[in-house]
């Protein structure tokens, strides 16, 4: 299936410190391109893979699941790890869950995590999804939760419930092993996140074993914060975090 031009994977930069960027559910590398590009311009090597089922059609997303998304993230991580001695992982929403899963399974290799509104649970209404998916194939788009006028993340117009259920199973897998995460974490969260409930952030804070966690509030952004009004703040705090921990 043809990949949209805006959804192509993105790599840039040089250097011995790499940052892997992982996009969210129904989105594509486009969502993180500006964030990753600014990081590359600051002297880091960056990689933004396209997760399977994304950037094409919701019909392709419908037949993918958590193990497909994780496998793509892990391949990109291993490739970047082969080019750099130090690798950080950044993720938005479901990409944050995948970043945490990488840190669980590659604890000795992930130097740190940069998480923006990481998704580990959903709203209570998602409890109906396991049954509803057999009756209702798709629902309205869950993407482009952005305050800034005129900005879109090019998410799918429809959301397949089968894929939502797959994402919920991914969340459960990640939550079960959060104690295996030991690396430093930069946790950025929107004050007005209407997609991921605040308990998701609290689960990260409560269950990881990391001793160094820096929280940053994003006061003027909705869920897709890297494309919203606090985009510059995200870049600034990302570069501060990389500067502090890359030298260790």
Residues with a known catalytic role: 93, 193, 223
199 alpha-carbon distance from chain centroid? 17
Quote the Cα angle for 228-229-232, to 5°: 95
DSSP conformation class of 75:
H
| C-alpha separations of 170 from 8, 67, 127, 162, 182 in Å | 24, 8, 15, 13, 20
Q: How many CA atoms lie within 13 A of 160 on its CB side?
A: 16
How does strand 17-22 pair with strand 45-48?
parallel
- Are 21 and 35 in contact by the 8 Å Cβ rule? The answer is yes
């Amino acid at each position: 299936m043809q990949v949209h031009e805006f959804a192509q994977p993105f790599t840039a930069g040089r250097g011995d410190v790499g940052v892997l960027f992982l996009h969210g559910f129904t989105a594509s590398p486009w969502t993180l391109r500006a964030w990753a590009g600014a990081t590359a311009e600051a002297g880091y090597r960056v990689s933004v893979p396209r997760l399977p089922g994304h950037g094409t059609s919701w019909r392709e997303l419908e037949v993918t699941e958590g193990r497909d998304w994780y496998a793509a993230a892990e391949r990109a991580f291993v490739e970047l790890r082969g080019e750099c001695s130090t690798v950080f992982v950044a993720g938005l929403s479901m990409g944050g869950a995948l970043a945490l899963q990488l840190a669980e399974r590659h604890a000795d290799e992930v130097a740190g995590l940069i998480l923006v509104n990481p998704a580990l649970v959903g709203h209570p209404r998602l409890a109906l999804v396991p049954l509803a998916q057999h009756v209702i194939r798709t629902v309205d788009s869950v993407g482009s939760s952005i305050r800034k006028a005129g900005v879109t993340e090019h998410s799918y117009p429809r959301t397949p419930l089968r894929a939502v259920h797959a994402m919920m199973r991914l969340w459960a897998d990640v939550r079960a092993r959060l104690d295996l995460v030991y690396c430093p974490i930069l946790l950025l969260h929107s004050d007005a996140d209407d997609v991921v409930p605040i308990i998701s952030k609290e689960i990260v804070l409560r269950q990881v074993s990391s001793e160094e966690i820096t929280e940053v509030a994003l006061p003027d952004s909705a869920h897709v914060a890297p494309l919203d009004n606090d985009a510059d703040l995200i870049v600034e705090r990302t570069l501060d975090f990389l500067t502090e921990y890359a030298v260790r």
